[in-house]
Amino acid sequence: MQRGEDFEEPLALIGIVLLYGFMANVCYTLGWITELAWAKDDPAKSQDFRVRAFRAGLVFSMALTTAPIWIATFVWVLYKIKMVH
């Protein structure tokens, strides 16, 4: 990568942002639909599982949302130690 060159194509970044927004909405919608399906029979029996599923989904969504920060930091560190040109 030359000095002054873009890390990524700007149009590709716009597409990735739109795809992320669409997929986040799909996952959110599927989350509450499955929540309703699990609670339909006996909410008390599935309470523990629903809490664990919510926490796992929350951690996954936070990791996915912050992934660009971690990837960029990793690439920056590699660049600084001269492993990436």
Chain segment 16-54, per-residue pLDDT in tens: 889 988 988 888 888 888 888 877 777 777 788 888 888
Residue 4 lies in a domain: no
pLDDT at 3: 67
Residue 1 lies in a domain: no
Tell me how far the alpha carbon of residue 11 is from its chain's centroid.
20
Residue 5 lies in a domain: no
78 within 8 A of 84, measured Cβ to Cβ: yes
Q: How far apart are CA 10 and CA 20, in angstroms?
A: 15
Residue 57 lies in a domain: yes
pLDDT at 73: 92
- Domain count of the chain? 1
Given a cut of 70, whether residue 1 has pLDDT beyond it is no
pLDDT at 9: 74
Domain that holds residue 67: 10-80
Q: What is the pTM of this model?
A: 0.61
